[in-house]
Amino acid sequence: MPIEPILDPHQETVFPTVLWNESIVTFEAIVERLDPSISPAVVIFARSSGGYVLANIRERGWCTPSGRLEPGESHLEAALRETQEEIGGRLELATEIGRYVLQGEDGRTLRFPAYLGLVREFGDIPAGSESSAARCITFNALSTVYYRWDKLIERVFEFAERSAPTNLEI
């Protein structure tokens, strides 16, 4: 049973539903505390001067930093750690803007909080990271480099652009 597109009553944004591998995926502009058992990972939209900082992840390519929570870690702590590990930057002014919703073939639904924040410097990627590089991409060029660009990713980046508080400017 597919997930219906979500209408955010505050932004009047409809997020499309897409298929990623075997999962049906959409986005909700809802922020609430989530249980790690149904929300085991985070996604980070790291803004920097001129655009968004993407990580070059093995077997994926250029994408937003993201990753699983470690035992006992909060979603925010995971977002801060993953930003450091994948793009070599410190995430400042991190704000949760919503969550991805994935429904697997088995019917289980998972939710992954998405954070928006500022990265002033990046690129010093720690040894052992699954990322081989980081680079800042302008909003208008994202579709040319992002590894899995689709209508959902496009709409979520547009939402992140509109959601960014003015204090995220460098």
DSSP 13-68: EEEP-EEETTEEEEEE-------TTT--EEEEEEEETTEEEEEEETTTEEE--EEE
Burial 142-166 (b: 16+ CB within 10 A, else e): beeebeeeeebbebbbebbeebbee
> For residue 141, what is the DSSP state?
G
- Beta strand 18-20 with 66-68: parallel, antiparallel or unpaired? unpaired
Give dist(CA 69, CA 67) in Å, integer.
7
Helix (H) or strand (E) holding 114: strand 109-118
pLDDT for res 35: 87
Token pair in block for residue 112: 């992954």
Residue 170: band (very low, low, confident or very high) from pLDDT cuts 50, 70, 90? low
pTM, whole model, 2 decimals?
A: 0.89
- The 10s digit of each residue's pLDDT in 29-87 is 988 888 888 899 999 999 999 899 999 999 999 999 999 999 999 999 999 999 999 99
